[in-house]
């Protein structure tokens, strides 16, 4: 057996890998040809389009105008800064229940369920000792989030640890971030809070913990793009670094007191690249600040799944969004990952949501082994290119912020740039080119939402589907009559499209069903003020005009056609087709129904 094994090993070593064979190597032109063939079958390319058109067709452009190529190519930028994390990430649970007893119960259940650190929301009413009762502070890091009372919360945590006679875990963080509170426009005496940073930093250093969290989700939750979020984080980080070093702290000590928090969204490659770009940018800042070449100070990253991406309707889809985002955060190298419970958009999450949230990380770490490979995205041409593009754009945006700070201007211009991003995202969501499953696509009008207690944290968030959710909150009292022309097989495609479109705006439909002519269609009409025709182009040409005329005569006040408005030889009031501004269309339709 030994001889056979050795012989087999020798043969394997002498034989090149299968993928290295000449017949397995293909040129760029061959890839373009194969891809173009698929796109032509899907009618996304014509026979006249060159094969090279696949690049434009498959390239996605972000809100920052950065192109995401369908395929990475060699010869791109140098590999970016590697993550420092080796192995599993810290599974961090958000504890934010305003009831201290319930918050404590949730924290202990989460820790028993495999959570490894706590992110604790604190305000003026929080009894921190009650929230942390029974928590092993030396084993479970505690990161505070007290935007309106940063100093008071930090002192309370340090005092509570001293009272119990335990040392805080070194990955704990007092969580000061007065600039983040300023961006969120929260009630805080920012200058006073910044003035207290040095004392807070000294206390944190003495306790062996960190003092500051640069919370970039303050920008993300307002609707910022990836570049704007990165720029804010680096600008705030530089401000804190400058303040601490100007007040006597060593550069290395100051940098080691700062942790960064970023949002992880369900667009996995931009999220991976964003975390990589953040490390690259912070390394550049430290280099420009005079950090010695032989000294390594890596950016500590906490990634939290995006709150704005969560939907209130069809909330169970949030489990999938959270899983993709957590995967991207882990692959991107985040040191700690928080998966927000799927029911967070509804209010205070309950035990089931919290259990699923923490188990997402367990699934990725323990079952999918995502954390076994160090930096799995490192060296991938497409990821490295996207990282470089994000870093370059964010550095420019950071410099713009710095110039505005130095000129003594406030955050008005930065907020205006975020508002422009929000407007563009809203435009894409309204036209459903940025689909939201369960909200703008495939909504379920009959669903019963689980009841949850209000969560003040949601008030800070501009949720991506909020405009559509507002329509769903007050369903239309009157349905649209869906005038289906022809057999089910003939009308089902456009009828399904129209039904889903109306449902996205809280509008139900009454479907005529299979019809063979005007008389049968009128027999099923019950006087609804708004009618929508749904059928094939052939049916529209054959008897669509007669159907419109008959329905108007029977009482229809507003006639819509599913398809292009000129598909029927009669005057219609509106049309529902791909690319329509769905939000404007639905708002107008609801007005006609009322």
Whether 267 and 362 share a structural domain: yes
d(CA 483, CA 562): 10
Whether 182 and 308 share a structural domain: yes
Whether 491 and 541 share a structural domain: yes
Q: Is residue 126 part of a domain?
A: yes
Higher pLDDT, 407 or 240: 240
Are 418 and 224 in contact by the 8 Å Cβ rule? The answer is yes
Whether 112 and 37 share a structural domain: no
Q: 152 is written with which tokens? A: 């008071």
Task: Please identify which residue in the block is written with the tokens 């405009």.
Answer: 467
Q: Is residue 502 part of a domain?
A: yes
d(CA 549, CA 524): 16
Higher pLDDT, 86 or 272: 272
pLDDT reported for residue 12: 43
Whether 131 and 213 share a structural domain: yes
Q: Is residue 489 part of a domain?
A: yes
| E strand residue ranges, 414-553 | 480-484, 509-511, 530-534
* Backbone torsions φ then ψ of 13, nearest 5 degrees: -65, -30
Q: 204 is written with which tokens? A: 């944190």
Q: Is residue 585 part of a domain?
A: yes
Lowest mean pLDDT among 19-23, 576-580, 590-594: 19-23
Q: Where are the alpha helices (DSSP H) in 363-380?
A: none
Whether 101 and 42 share a structural domain: no
pLDDT reported for residue 374: 84
| Tens digits of residue pLDDT in 119-175 | 999 999 999 999 999 999 999 999 999 999 999 999 999 999 999 999 999 999 999
**Residue range of the domain that includes 394:** 90-398
Q: Is residue 272 part of a domain?
A: yes
Q: 435 is written with which tokens? A: 């689909």
**CATH number, position 510:** 3.40.50.280
Cα 496-498-500 angle, rounded to 5 deg:
70
Whether 170 and 274 share a structural domain: yes
d(CA 137, CA 115): 13
Nearest to 366 by CA among 418, 416, 330, 321: 330
Cα 228-234-240 angle, rounded to 5 deg:
135
**CATH number, position 279:** 3.20.20.240
Phi-psi category of residue 248: left, alpha or beta, with phi > 0 → left and psi -120 to 50 → alpha: left
pLDDT reported for residue 227: 98
Whether 50 and 144 share a structural domain: no
pLDDT reported for residue 86: 82
Signed CA dihedral, 330, 333, 337, 343: sign only? negative
Chain mean position to CA 47? 37
Whether 292 and 235 share a structural domain: yes
Whether 97 and 20 share a structural domain: no
For residue 511, CA distances in Å to 367, 394, 518, 531 come to 46, 51, 15, 10
β pairing state of 558-562 and 210-215: unpaired
Q: 405 is written with which tokens? A: 């700070």
Is residue 14 pLDDT above 80, yes or no? no
User: How does 203-236 read in b/e, with b if 16+ C-beta sit within 10 Å?
Assistant: bbbebebbbbbbbbbbbbbbbbbbbbbbbbbbbb
Give the confidence band of 30 by pLDDT, cuts at 50, 70, 90: confident
Model confidence pTM above 0.75: yes
pLDDT reported for residue 19: 55
Give the confidence band of 10 by pLDDT, cuts at 50, 70, 90: very low
d(CA 358, CA 354): 6
d(CA 417, CA 320): 30
| Tens digits of residue pLDDT in 324-373 | 999 999 999 999 999 999 999 999 999 999 999 999 999 999 999 999 98
Last residue in a domain, options 381, 398, 415: 398
State the distance between the two ends of the chain, measured CA to CA, in whole angstroms.
Answer: 84
pLDDT reported for residue 72: 80
Q: How many CA atoms lie within 13 A of 550 on its CB side?
A: 17
User: How does 159-172 read in b/e, with b if 16+ C-beta sit within 10 Å?
Assistant: ebbeeeeeebbebb
Whether 32 and 96 share a structural domain: no
> How many domains in the chain?
3
């Amino acid at each position: 057996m030994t001889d056979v094994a050795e012989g087999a090993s020798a043969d394997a070593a002498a034989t090149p890998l299968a993928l290295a064979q000449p017949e397995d190597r293909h040129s760029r032109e061959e890839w373009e040809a194969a891809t173009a063939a698929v796109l032509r079958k899907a009618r996304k390319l014509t026979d006249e389009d060159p094969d090279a058109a696949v690049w434009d067709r498959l390239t996605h452009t972000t809100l920052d105008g950065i192109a995401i190529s369908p395929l990475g190519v060699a010869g791109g930028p140098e590999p970016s800064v590697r993550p420092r994390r080796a192995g599993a990430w810290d599974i961090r649970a958000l504890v934010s229940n305003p009831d201290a007893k319930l918050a404590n119960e949730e924290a202990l259940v989460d820790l028993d369920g495999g959570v490894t650190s706590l992110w604790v929301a604190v305000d003026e009413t929080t009894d921190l000792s009650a929230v942390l009762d029974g928590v092993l502070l030396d084993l479970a890091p505690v990161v505070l989030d007290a935007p309106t009372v940063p100093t008071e919360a930090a002192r309370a945590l340090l005092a509570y640890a001293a009272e119990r006679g335990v040392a805080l875990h070194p990955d704990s963080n007092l969580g000061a971030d007065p600039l983040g509170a300023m961006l969120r426009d929260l009630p805080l005496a920012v200058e006073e809070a910044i003035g207290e940073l040095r004392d807070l930093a000294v206390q944190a250093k003495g306790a062996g913990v960190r003092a500051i969290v640069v919370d970039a989700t303050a920008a993300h939750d307002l609707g910022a793009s990836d570049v704007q979020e990165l720029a804010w984080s680096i600008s705030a980080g530089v401000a804190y670094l400058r303040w601490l070093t100007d007040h006597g702290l060593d550069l290395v000590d100051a940098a080691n007191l700062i942790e960064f928090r970023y949002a992880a969204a369900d667009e996995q490659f931009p999220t991976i690249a964003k975390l990589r770009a953040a490390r690259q940018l912070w390394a550049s800042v430290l280099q420009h600040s005079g950090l010695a070449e032989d000294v390594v100070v890596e950016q500590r990253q906490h990634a939290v799944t995006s709150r704005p991406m969560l939907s209130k309707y069809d909330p169970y889809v949030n489990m999938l969004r959270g899983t993709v985002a957590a995967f991207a955060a882990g692959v991107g190298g985040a040191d700690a990952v928080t998966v927000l419970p799927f029911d967070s958009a509804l209010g205070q999450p309950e035990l089931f949501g919290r259990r699923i949230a923490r188990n997402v990380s367990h699934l990725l770490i323990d079952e999918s082994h995502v954390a076994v490979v160090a930096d799995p995205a490192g060296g991938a041409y497409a990821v490295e290119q996207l990282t470089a593009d994000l870093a370059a754009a964010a550095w420019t945006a950071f410099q713009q912020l710095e110039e505005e700070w130095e000129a003594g201007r406030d955050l008005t211009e930065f907020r205006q740039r975020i508002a422009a991003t929000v407007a563009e995202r809203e435009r894409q969501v309204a036209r459903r080119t940025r689909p939201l499953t369960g909200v703008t696509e495939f909504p379920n009008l009959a669903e019963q939402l689980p009841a949850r207690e209000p969560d003040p944290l949601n008030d800070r968030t501009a949720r991506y589907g909020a405009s559509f959710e507002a329509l769903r909150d007050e369903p239309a009292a009157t349905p649209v009559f869906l005038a289906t022309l022809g057999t089910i097989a003939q009308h089902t495609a456009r009828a399904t499209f129209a039904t889903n479109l109306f449902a996205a705006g809280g509008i139900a439909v009454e479907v005529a069903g299979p019809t063979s002519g005007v008389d049968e269609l009128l027999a099923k009409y019950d006087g609804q003020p708004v009618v929508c025709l749904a059928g094939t182009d052939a049916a529209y040409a054959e008897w669509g005009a007669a159907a419109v005329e008959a329905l108007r005569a029977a009482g229809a006040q507003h006639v819509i056609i599913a398809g292009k408005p000129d598909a029927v030889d009669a005057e219609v009031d509106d049309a529902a087709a791909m690319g329509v501004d769905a939000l404007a269309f639905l708002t107008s339709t609801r007005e006609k129904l009322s």
